[in-house]
Amino acid sequence: MFGSRAQILFLVLTGVFLTNALMAEFIGVKIFALEDTLGLRPFDWSLFGQSGSLNFTAGVMLWPVVFVLTDVINEYFGKRGVRFISWLAVGLILYAFCFAYLAIHLAPAAWWISVASDQGVPDMQKAFAAIFGQGLWSIGGSLTAFLVAQLIDVRIFHWIRQRTGERMVWLRATGSTLVSQFIDSFVVLYIAFVLGPQQWAIPLFLAVGTVNYLYKASMAVALTPVIYAMRRGIEAWLGKEVAEELKRRARE
């Protein structure tokens, strides 16, 4: 890297990326109703013979941040930077889940089990296990989809960049995300819920995957201005010479 500012930039981007990826995995166990959250009437969507309200995992709050950071890191630190943080994220998520499973199997203190009964939680041990003890199919599907999507994203980003140069930042950032998140949206559901013990029917798999992808695609487009704003801020902080050198190395 090129001096302390570039090192600090990579450290900050990596830290925020890892925090968001790790938190998204853990809070993703909660499913929320979008219409109820926004105070709207149910949309009653219908796809592939399936219908219902718009339900998402709570992790969708954080994954858009991961998308943006992937593109920014791609811009300044290239394929090696994205691959490094992607593999590091997978390793740390597995590490965190291992200790979550160990924590579940620690013998609970007798008084702690009922400590939140007045809050509607009669058994804290069961609640803890339900929240942190995500199934292996879900974990495997999520991590596989995340890693495959990241590796596809970096390839498409640089393929577009080679053909457009420094022009059309929106195309390489948004275009790579639209393709990679299409893969992510369906791979995670297929592994976790079609191959897994729930064995979803294919129409349900296609319907839920499509709804999730449309959300991610909408967020990718909506957050494009954020990428431009981050570029301006980064280049002002690094200085034009250092920023251009980082981008040149990133293209190699």
Phi, psi (rounded to 5 degrees) for 57: -80, 150
The residue behind tokens 């009653």 is 44
CA distances from 191 to 25, 60, 118, 213 (A): 15, 19, 38, 16
pLDDT band at 1 (very low <50, low <70, confident <90, very high): very low
Q: Report the pLDDT value the prediction gives residue 11, as an integer from 0 to 100.
A: 94
Q: Which of the pair, 115 or 181, is modelled with greater confidence? A: 115
- pLDDT greater than 50 at residue 108: yes
- pLDDT greater than 90 at residue 81: yes
Coil, strand or helix at 51: strand
Task: Please compute the mean of the pLDDT values over residues 68-97 and round it to a whole number.
Answer: 93
pTM of the model: 0.87
45 - beta bridge partners? Answer: 52
Task: Please compute the mean of the pLDDT values over residues 135-147 and round it to a whole number.
Answer: 83
* Cα angle value 192/180/34 (rounded, 5°): 60
Taking the domains of the chain in order of start, what are their residue ranges?
Answer: 3-108+119-250
pLDDT band at 63 (very low <50, low <70, confident <90, very high): confident
Q: Which of the pair, 58 or 135, is modelled with greater confidence? A: 58
- Helix ranges, the chain (H): 3-27, 34-38, 63-104, 110-113, 124-132, 136-164, 169-189, 202-222, 224-238, 240-250
Name the pairing type of β-strands 45-47 and 55-57. Answer: unpaired
Q: What does the DSSP assignment read for 154-177?
A: HHHHHHHHHHHTTS-HHHHHHHHH
Q: Report the pLDDT value the prediction gives residue 89, as an integer from 0 to 100.
A: 94
